[in-house]
Each structure stands twice: as structure tokens, then as C-alpha cells.
Chains A and B, each alone.
Chain A
Amino acid sequence: MQMPEPDGGVLARKARIVALLRAILPPDAVIDAPEELRAYECDALTAYRCPPLAAVLPRSTAEVSAVLRTCWEEGVPVVPRGSGTSLAGGAMPTADSVILGVARMNAVLETDYENRFIRVQSGRTNLSVSGAVEAEGFFYAPDPSSQLACAIAGNIAMNSGGAHCLKYGVTTNNLLGVTLVQMDGTVVTLGGPWGEPCGIDLLGVVCGSEGQLGVVTEACLRILPKPEGARPVLVGFNSNEVAGACVADVIRAGILPVAIEFMDRPCIRATEAFAKAGYPDCEALLIIEVEGSEAEIGEQLSRIRQIAMAHDPVEFREAADEDQARRIWLGRKSAFGAMGQINDYMCLDGTIPVSSLPHVLKRIGEMSRDFGLDVGNVFHAGDGNMHPLILFDANKPGDLERCEAFGAEILKLCVEVGGCLTGEHGVGIEKRDLMAVQFTGPDMEAQMRVKDVFDPKWLLNPAKVFPLAASAPRRTG
């Protein structure tokens, strides 16, 4: 993975830049010792590492503004960082950049149950937002699997999804407003708790812009009343086609499960060996979860059973109690860990039209043989968001490169069948150079123009999202 050459001028001015940052922040908020900077050398895409020039941990919007203004005046790139859980390298620094971490800004600023919103500082973790409103019977819906650790700032930057977005939508559908600091230090308020945009929807384009338009310091989030209950069923099939047809029938019937998860045979076998959840040994497995009162859950599950039975499943298992529900989810939730037991893995997240599922899985199987690397598939089936896990050995020379080449082929296939490169992890550096597969030059140009407006000097997270060659004239301009 290529990164731009660091700016020698910036590297040479490290002492001056650190001194300027120390002048505007408390002493403990500026990190420049090499051993401490190692903590910021990568995010969850650990294959690539580079310590930053410095890291800062501001505690307020005013401090963030002062940092950005200083870096803007000095021409220093800034890489915003939430909790560093990006799988796409969204928070990966360059040697000439300052990491701006929002982790210390984690306060709840306001909860309003009657108007159904919460306002938080952006370093607050996803799960602790729900935690703050749980006692009143509310929750924050987007639930990325890293929700224990990941920060709202990163969720907004990547427009994070989760297993339950089939019903509740992703971050952008639950984000009401932000306080955004632009690279030159300007503080802007976008949106508000009333939700309805006024004029051009700037909030909509900020969400998912991967920290390239500004640093979000505060967020106003929609909270929802918790459903009375939830219950999963597990359905096993001996063919991916039939499992896919069952998903389509459930959706067409007007039942809106909160989640429909799909696992293929390699993944089922790996998780069985690891977690012993008691899954049937079959070609494809669905976990379908519905919500509501006991009676409503019963009504939906009986309809789902009716639909599934028409497809002659190997097994249809309803959870009779909490423990059985937990066991149904156990294998799915252990899938990544199980694959990790076997070997290193790379997880992709391209999205495909649900109807292409059998074709795509067949092609991935063929590619797996061609590349000589095993792959297991977990899949948010209701919305077509795939998660192929490619196994490789990081200690074996050439394996990572082979794995990346395989991954790129899978993502190209996703685009070819009408889907996209990334459904929830973001482009970051990982998929940056594949953008031209999905977009024409003018398509990317239109997106880069937005950054030109928010960050004319291209100092915020500049080496991400767009192919380096495409962004070069702007970055080096």
C-alpha cells in the first residue's frame, strides 16, 4: 500500500510544530515521544504502520479549533482519530501528520427523551451512548460490531452500519446534527435535534466523508424506544441459491426482521470448531431476528417458518428462551474470532444486490481455488453487505499481497454485479486505489470538489479515499 512521501519541510520543523501545539493545549494533551507515538501508528488495519509526527488529545471544541488553525497555518496534515478501530486504515497516519484524537471528549451534553435525542461529545463510544439512555428505555440504533470500543466520531466519519441496520438504518439515518471544526479552525453547526435539513444538506455529506471535511466534536443523535423483546431463528439450507430465495421471500412478504445474517459452509465449519454453537453442517445458514412483544414475535416467526418451510430447509430452529437465543447468535458473533484462530485474515465489506448472491458466492469459491487461499463468508443478507474473510499467513512472504489481490478481485466482482466496494467500513487507504472501478473521473472529481470547499489546502486526512494519482494535484498543489 503506497502512501505519499512525507513533506520534508514539515519533518524538519517538528520541534517548532510541537512547541506551537504545546502553547495552545495543556501539557498532557500533546504527545511527541517516539515510544508513545507507536500507539498511533495504525488502526485496526494493522498490516500498515507509520508513527505520526505528533499526536494531540484535545478536550474541547475550542482546543480542536486551535489545533486545526495552527496546523493549517503551518501546512501540517492532520489525521482525525476516534478509537482507532477502522478496518480500512481511515486513521492511519503519515510521518508528517498530526493525529488529532477525540478520545478525551466523551461527555454526554444533553439527553431529551420527549424530543428523542442525545447530544454527546464525539469521542464517546457507540455502546456507551445507548448506555446513557438505557435506564429510560431508549437506545441508539447503529451497532457496528466494534461498538464497545468505537467512537461516535469514527462512526460519523465512516457512516458506520451494523447488524440491525436493516430496520433502523445506518449512522446517517440516525444523525441529527454536528458541531464541525474545519481545517482553518472555523466552527460550524450543521443540522439540529429537529432532524429536518434546512437548505443544502451539508450534514448528509459530512457523514461518511472519512474525516476529510472537518473534525466532528459534538453530535446530536436520534434515540429510539427499546422494543419489548427480540428473538432469533436459525434456518439451515443445502444451497446458497435456496437460502438467497428464502431471504427475498421474507422481505417480499413485508416482514421486517431487524437482522438477517448469512453464513456459508466454510464459515459454519470454522465457527463450529471454535465456538461449538451446535450449528447444522450445511451449505448456508440464516439467522433471522425479529422484535416486538411476545405475541408479535410469535406472529412474525410463524410467518417466517411458513416461508422457510416452502424452501425445504435442513433445519429450522426457534429459540425457546434467552439461552437458546444466545446460542443461535454465538456462532455468528464468534465468526471473526474463529477465522482468526485458523490464520490471519482480511475482512472485506463490499455490497451486492441480494439477487446476485449465489453467483457471487460461486465466483468467490472459484477465485479461492485460483489464489490458493481459503475464504469464509458472513453476510448481512437483508441488505447485501458481504463480509468475505480471506485467510492468509502474514509470516509467509507474498501471502499478504496474494490476499490483497484476491480481495481486490472480490470487490471488483461486487461492483460488476451492481454493488459497491464498501458497505460499512469505508474506503480509507484499503480500497482507495479501487475507486476507479466504481467511479468515473468526473464522479470522483465531483466528490473532490466538496473537499476543495471544506478544506481547500487538502490537509485533513489527505491520502485517503481517492486514488493517490487522482488527488495528487490537489494535495501537492
Chain B
Amino acid sequence: MRPKTETELAEAIAGTRTPLLLRGGGTRTLGHAVGEVLETGGLAGVELYEPGALTLVVRAGTPLAEVERVLAAERQRLAFEPPDLRGLLGREGVSTIGGVLAANASGPRRVQVGAARDAALGVRFVDGAGTVVKNGGRVMKNVTGYDLVKLLAGSRGTLGMLTEVGFKVQALPEAEATLVIEGLDREAGLAALRRALGSPFDVSGAARHSGRSLIRVEGMAGSVAYRLGRLRALLGGEVTVAEGAASAALWREVRDVVPFHGKPGEVWRIATLPTLAAEVVARLEGQALWDWGGGLVWLLAEHGRGAEVAATLAGRGHATLVRGEGGPVFPPEAPEVAALVAGLKAKFDPRGILNRGMMG
């Protein structure tokens, strides 16, 4: 099903007799939900865009590429840098903006500006009974009532189907540049990322893969040059600088986990403490790409490592199996948290029809 309006979508959910598999373009869907496919792709288009107020409200099925095109025309962008996971997951299709928020999909700039959830200003969604709900709005500061925007962000369609999303957007910077540091071992290379993020030089990306540590700064041209110089002095090592488009290309590779594309094995996405990032990978023996200063570890490993991943983290973070077979995709929650989540699902989706089984 691919309804054309929010009303049609609400009717489709209210009237269904079978479980539904909700999705935008299906480019980043995880988990094992089954059901009749219900897509947002028919709900597309910009509702409101005020560049002077950094505000964009779009229908949930609008392609991400279209959103990025509209913003670029006004020299703006989504600050949280949503990844394109098609290459990693071997998917086809068109990523939608609703899917981005439903997965809370955030890229390298999360260390500086926060995640998709942090940029989201408002949502409209249809719950499991077919009721249309609005929460948040279009303004940047809003504490009126509970923040269901956060609840829906990252809920992967298990509490409701997004029909409209509002974001705070960001002006494109005048300049960007990346320090590429080579010749450091894993420990030292990750320590450099932490030192950069602990400096006052407003780093907008801190990642490591293929033996290189990458540190990005963005902003006005003079400021970028100044901060590059200071970071260079602070970090040492064999340093080269990538500027402009060359820098942007480096960060697309990190964002989309390009080094793992087409390689066999299972892929884990691990959120942990930056100081544990080296240890986690050493113990698990896989190929790694570290983002967010080490707080995000993408790990390419042999199949069937779930138990070891959980044992290694031992509660100091969490891991999602984004590519691979067998085993749960999302980590189990503590019993008291699981009880709250089950309670919310029962309230928002009393028939248990929305992406049933997706998140455990």
C-alpha cells in the first residue's frame, strides 16, 4: 500500500486486518518484521521552508535526495549528515526523510551538532489505531507538553508511522578542511581524535579507518585555517590537509561506511565510550571504522559474533547487528526498560500490527 494522503494512510492503518511492515524507501530497515508493506512514498513534498529561520517541514515520504537538493539551492543542509546505507546493506531504493528520522540516522557531524533527533522540531504521525497525532512544531524552542518527537525518532515505525517531519537546518559553511594523520597506531590514532574533540577548536568530524585518523573543521575561511593550524600543532604526526571537495569526499566514505561495501562478514554498529573503542576492536578481531571520536564503532567481523560482542561491551555501550544473519538485531533491554517499552507499544499500537518483531 502506498497512500497519497495522511487521511488515506490513517484509514489504511485503521482498516487493516493484518500486521503491517511500515517503511519509507526500505533503504535502512533493520530487523525481522513481517507484514503487508505500507510505504510513505506517496506523501511527498515540502510543506514549509524558511531559510531565514533555518526551518524545513516536509512530508515523510519525500526522498532524502530531494530534501538535500531543496536545501542546497539555498546554501543550506541537514546538519546531522544522514548516512546512505544502501551500499553497506546491499539495498536499492530511495531513502526518505521520514525513514531518516524513524531510524535516527546520523552521520559524522553528530559529535558537533547532535543526531537527527536533536535537529527534529516536530512530527505528525499515525498511531496503530489509525489516529493522527501532532507533536512539537516548527519552532526551535518548544517545551509545550511531552516530547513525543524524541520518542518517535529512532522508533523505526513501532509506535506510529511518520507522515510529516520538521527539522532545524544549517547554513552551508564557507569552507571545510580535514587533517589526515598517518603513521599512528590504533591507540595513538584514536587518542588523537579524543584530544581534538577535547580542544576548543570546534571539530565537526573525528574518525579513523584504514590506518588514518581524520579530523574535520568547518566554518568561515579564516577560522578554518586558524583551527587547522592549532590542531596540527596540538596533534603532531604525519599530517596532510584535504580541503573543500576532497575533504567532503573523505567524510562521505566515513558516513556511508564505504570501506565495508561488498566485503563479506557481519557488520556491527557499536555505540560505546571513545576510550573503549580500541579495546573493543582488539578483542573482537575485525576490521573497524571509528566515527564520533571512537564513540561509534563500525565492525566487520566473521559471522556469529553476537555473544562475544555483548560480552566485550559488558553494558558499556550497545551494539546493533546491521548486516548479518541469525541472532537478535537489537540488543536486549534491561527488564524494567523493556517493561516501559512494551507498555508504550501497547498504548500506541494496541493491536500489535506496526513493524511487529522489528525491535525485539
Bound CA–CA A166/B141 (angstroms): 9
Given contacts A114-B194, A196-B295, A420-B144, 20 further A-B contacts (CB under 8 A): A169-B114, A200-B158, A205-B146, A205-B151, A207-B150, A227-B202, A251-B171, A296-B220, A354-B53, A383-B140, A383-B141, A384-B140, A421-B144, A422-B143, A423-B139, A435-B144, A439-B144, A446-B348, A450-B347, A454-B340
Q: Are A198 and B336 neighbours in the complex by a CB distance under 8 Å?
A: no
Q: Are A423 and B171 neighbours in the complex by a CB distance under 8 Å?
A: no
Bound CA–CA A227/B74 (angstroms): 29
Contacts of A253 in B (CB 8 A): 171
A68-76, A322-330, A362-370, A424-432: which lies at the interface: A424-432
- CB pairs A–B below 8 angstroms (17 shown): A114-B274, A115-B273, A158-B143, A173-B118, A194-B295, A202-B151, A208-B143, A208-B146, A251-B52, A252-B51, A252-B171, A351-B141, A384-B53, A420-B137, A423-B141, A435-B144, A440-B134
Does any Cβ of B come within 8 Å of A416's Cβ? no
Bound CA–CA A387/B358 (angstroms): 44
A9-17, A32-40, A181-189: which lies at the interface: A181-189
B32-40, B248-256, B327-335: which lies at the interface: B327-335
How far does the Cβ of B296 sit from chain A's closest Cβ, in whole Å? Answer: 7
Bound CA–CA A293/B219 (angstroms): 13
Partner of A418, one of B127, B138, B159: B138
Contacts of B146 in A (CB 8 A): 205, 208-209, 447, 450-451, 465
Does any Cβ of A come within 8 Å of B115's Cβ? yes
Contacts of B96 in A (CB 8 A): none
How far does the Cβ of B148 sit from chain A's closest Cβ, in whole Å? Answer: 6
How far does the Cβ of B344 sit from chain A's closest Cβ, in whole Å? Answer: 5
Q: Are A453 and B53 neighbours in the complex by a CB distance under 8 Å?
A: no
Using an 8 Å CB-CB cutoff, how does the interface string of B122-133 with A read, 1 for contact, 0 for none? 000001000111
Bound CA–CA A431/B330 (angstroms): 40
Contacts of B138 in A (CB 8 A): 353, 418-419
Partner of A186, one of B140, B151, B223, B336: B336
Bound CA–CA A207/B147 (angstroms): 8
Using an 8 Å CB-CB cutoff, how does the interface string of A294-314 with B read, 1 for contact, 0 for none? 011001100100000000000
Q: Are B139 and A383 neighbours in the complex by a CB distance under 8 Å?
A: yes
- 8 Å CB interface, B275-320 against A: 275, 295-296, 316-318
Does any Cβ of B come within 8 Å of A225's Cβ? yes
Does any Cβ of A come within 8 Å of B73's Cβ? no
Bound CA–CA A161/B145 (angstroms): 15
Using an 8 Å CB-CB cutoff, how does the interface string of A328-359 with B read, 1 for contact, 0 for none? 00000000000000000000000111110000
Bound CA–CA A431/B360 (angstroms): 39
Q: With A199-B333, A201-B117 in contact, do A443 and B273 touch (Cβ < 8 Å)?
A: no
How far does the Cβ of B297 sit from chain A's closest Cβ, in whole Å? Answer: 10
Bound CA–CA A351/B139 (angstroms): 7
Going nearest first, the 9 A-B pairs with the smallest beta carbon separation are A204-B150, A248-B52, A254-B171, A423-B141, A453-B343, A196-B271, A383-B140, A198-B318, A449-B347
Partner of B220, one of A172, A204, A299: A299
Bound CA–CA A445/B86 (angstroms): 37
Bound CA–CA A205/B347 (angstroms): 15
Does any Cβ of B come within 8 Å of A438's Cβ? yes
Does any Cβ of B come within 8 Å of A131's Cβ? no
Does any Cβ of A come within 8 Å of B5's Cβ? no
Q: With A114-B194, A253-B171, A450-B148 in contact, do A194 and B140 touch (Cβ < 8 Å)?
A: no
Q: Are B141 and A355 neighbours in the complex by a CB distance under 8 Å?
A: no
Bound CA–CA A419/B141 (angstroms): 9
Q: Are B194 and A199 neighbours in the complex by a CB distance under 8 Å?
A: no
Does any Cβ of B come within 8 Å of A193's Cβ? yes
Bound CA–CA A100/B348 (angstroms): 31
Interface residues of A (CB under 8 A from B): 112-116, 137, 158-159, 161, 165-166, 169-170, 172-173, 186-190, 192-205, 207-209, 225-228, 248-249, 251-256, 292-293, 295-296, 299-300, 303, 351-355, 380, 383-385, 418-427, 431, 435, 438-440, 442-447, 449-454, 465
Bound CA–CA A187/B335 (angstroms): 11
Q: Are B52 and A442 neighbours in the complex by a CB distance under 8 Å?
A: no
Bound CA–CA A293/B230 (angstroms): 11
Bound CA–CA A205/B139 (angstroms): 18
Contacts of A195 in B (CB 8 A): 271, 295
Partner of B226, one of A189, A293, A421, A423: A293
- 8 Å CB interface, B24-65 against A: 50-55
Bound CA–CA A421/B141 (angstroms): 10
Bound CA–CA A450/B51 (angstroms): 34
Does any Cβ of A come within 8 Å of B174's Cβ? yes
In this complex, the member of A165, A198, A255, A303 whose beta carbon has the largest number of chain B beta carbons within 10 angstroms is A198
Bound CA–CA A192/B314 (angstroms): 13
Bound CA–CA A444/B348 (angstroms): 13
How far does the Cβ of A296 sit from chain B's closest Cβ, in whole Å? Answer: 4
- 8 Å CB interface, B78-131 against A: 104, 114-115, 117-118, 127, 131
How far does the Cβ of B233 sit from chain A's closest Cβ, in whole Å? Answer: 13
Partner of A299, one of B223, B317, B336: B223
Bound CA–CA A279/B132 (angstroms): 49
Q: With A355-B50, A446-B135, A453-B343 in contact, do A199 and B359 touch (Cβ < 8 Å)?
A: yes
Q: Are B337 and A202 neighbours in the complex by a CB distance under 8 Å?
A: yes
Q: Are B200 and A418 neighbours in the complex by a CB distance under 8 Å?
A: no
Contacts of A303 in B (CB 8 A): 220
**Considering only CB atoms, which chain A residue lies closest to B313 in the complex?**
A194
Q: With A173-B114, A197-B117, A205-B151 in contact, do A446 and B133 touch (Cβ < 8 Å)?
A: yes
Bound CA–CA A193/B333 (angstroms): 17
Does any Cβ of A come within 8 Å of B211's Cβ? no
Q: Are A227 and B200 neighbours in the complex by a CB distance under 8 Å?
A: yes
